[in-house]
Chains A and B, each alone.
Chain A
Amino acid sequence: MAKVNTIRLMAEKKDELLQQWIELHLASLSLRKDIIGNENLYRQSRDFIDAFVQAAEGADFEDINRVEWTTVRKILAEISTNRSRQGYSPSETASYVFTLKEAIIRLLQKEYGVQPDVLIQETLTISKILDKLGLLTFETYSKAREEVIYRQQQEMLELSTPVIQLWDGILALPLIGTLDSGRTQVVMENLLRGILSTNSDVAILDISGVPTVDTLVAQHIIKTVSAARLMGAECIISGIRPEIAQTIVQLGVDLSMVKTRATLAGALKLALDMRKLTIVQIGKA
């Protein structure tokens, strides 16, 4: 059987193959060879060859999803995920498998250079499986990237919507940045939960830091105000800049049922009034 030749060769000339592979691979990395740590790479690659040889002996070459390939897939996934997190490019990550292919083909060339038929057959077979594994590193790489992006998004959502207690019974939520509907939902929930946990009757939504207000955002604000009211709290919208006030009117959004103020200070004053509180100056400032 054709595949047996390559696999046997890989097992027999493991050290030579390993040496060649790592040289090729390091050469393919443009930058940051230091990060990986050669010793680690050496050990990992040796494990990979061992696992590959072991899997290849009993397994089907057509389907790398079969159980025999589990260890191989696991090692590859680990490498790809780590590199993705360390900021390597996807081609640098995939080059790990592709340089192995090159090393094996060189080995085959040396061994079967005089038997072109065998050489072609062996090269084709081994290329097929290694290409599949190469694609797998791509997939794992992008999956890991997506996870990173998702986590950062979640962190940003949390960070960008702080609920601040201004006074006993008065909350403020300064909104900064563009409001899309996903973020507005988080804002809404945070505010309502904050109202409940701090027992606040008045909440100030400050939109000074929001660059534009469109119909959707205005609607979200109205919904937040309505939900707070159902819970028994009043909202005040502050920080409505002149251009935003103009847009709101032009869009035909009715904010008449919502208490609004131009500044956060104005909103705080109204909030204190609503709670029947007043600030008095004692003595000269």
Chain B
Amino acid sequence: MERIPIIKMGPFLLVTIQVDMHDRLVMALQEDLTEMVSSNGARGVLINISSLDMVDSYIGRMLGGIASITSLMDAYTVVVGMQPAVAITMVELGISLQGVMTALNVEKGMDLLRSKLKLAPEQDHEIDREE
């Protein structure tokens, strides 16, 4: 059966969704992610949806579900790369992805996870940081 690949990046897992997801694929992804968070002791999951052309309430529920499950296992989930048209449509539809963190792209998602987990940032900014 076809599955969405999960890539390990240091303490994090990265999933890039590139296909139109049908239900079995969604179920498989949820299972695989839970499995990998547990076996790798991953502290964060990044789900890149920049290629998705829509998020309906089903996919929205799936994203919320993954966030809830991973948080039970002491890991954060960040959804990254949502397209503007998708975001506008989701708001109109009434999905707010409560409890799910978001970031503009994978890099910013990793920054967000690092700051949540109080891990050292990879590089410093040229402007003074307060921290």
Most buried by A among B86, B88, B96, B109: B88
A231→B91 CA distance, assembly (Å): 11
**Chain A residue at minimum C-beta to C-beta distance from B88:** A227
- Min CB–CB distance A162 → chain B (angstroms): 17
Residue contact B128 to A227, C-beta cutoff 8 Å: no
Given contacts A201-B104, A231-B102, contact A193 B84 (CB under 8 A): yes
- For the complex, would chain A's binding face be called helix, strand, loop or mixed by DSSP majority? helix
Given contacts A230-B87, A276-B130, A277-B129, contact A196 B104 (CB under 8 A): yes
Given contacts A230-B91, A277-B129, contact A199 B97 (CB under 8 A): no
Q: Say yes or no for A177: interface residue by CB 8 A criterion.
A: no
Given contacts A189-B84, A193-B84, contact A231 B90 (CB under 8 A): no
Residue contact A192 to B87, C-beta cutoff 8 Å: yes
- A227's contact among B91, B108, B130, by CB below 8 Å, is which? B91
Beta-carbon contacts of B60-87 to A below 8 Å, as 1s and 0s? 0000000000000000001110111111
Q: Say yes or no for A229: interface residue by CB 8 A criterion.
A: yes
**Chain B residue at minimum C-beta to C-beta distance from A272:** B127
Q: Say yes or no for A271: interface residue by CB 8 A criterion.
A: no
Residue contact A199 to B105, C-beta cutoff 8 Å: yes
Q: A residues within 8 A CB of B125? A: 277
A199→B130 CA distance, assembly (Å): 22
- For the complex, would chain B's binding face be called helix, strand, loop or mixed by DSSP majority? mixed
Q: Say yes or no for B103: interface residue by CB 8 A criterion.
A: yes
A154→B109 CA distance, assembly (Å): 36
A72→B83 CA distance, assembly (Å): 50
Q: Say yes or no for B122: interface residue by CB 8 A criterion.
A: no
Q: A residues within 8 A CB of B20? A: none
Beta-carbon contacts of A218-261 to B below 8 Å, as 1s and 0s? 00000100111111110000000000000000000000000000
Residue contact A278 to B87, C-beta cutoff 8 Å: no
**Chain B residue at minimum C-beta to C-beta distance from A226:** B91
Beta-carbon contacts of A154-196 to B below 8 Å, as 1s and 0s? 0000000000000000000000000000000000110011011
Residue contact A232 to B84, C-beta cutoff 8 Å: no
Q: B residues within 8 A CB of A196? A: 83-84, 104
Given contacts A192-B88, A226-B91, A230-B90, contact A277 B128 (CB under 8 A): yes
A278→B128 CA distance, assembly (Å): 7
**Chain B residue at minimum C-beta to C-beta distance from A191:** B84
Residue contact B104 to A226, C-beta cutoff 8 Å: no
Given contacts A199-B105, A201-B104, contact A231 B129 (CB under 8 A): no
- B109's contact among A189, A199, A229, A232, by CB below 8 Å, is which? A232
Residue contact B88 to A199, C-beta cutoff 8 Å: no
Q: Say yes or no for A280: interface residue by CB 8 A criterion.
A: yes
Residue contact A192 to B109, C-beta cutoff 8 Å: no
A14→B90 CA distance, assembly (Å): 68
Q: Say yes or no for B2: interface residue by CB 8 A criterion.
A: no
Given contacts A232-B82, A276-B131, contact A227 B87 (CB under 8 A): yes
Residue contact A230 to B97, C-beta cutoff 8 Å: yes
Can you add 8 more A-B contacts, CB < 8 Å, to A196-B83, A231-B82?
A195-B84, A199-B104, A223-B88, A223-B91, A226-B91, A230-B90, A231-B102, A278-B130
17 contacts between A and B (CB under 8 A): A188-B88, A196-B104, A223-B88, A223-B91, A227-B87, A227-B90, A230-B82, A230-B91, A230-B97, A231-B87, A231-B104, A232-B79, A232-B80, A232-B82, A232-B102, A277-B127, A278-B128
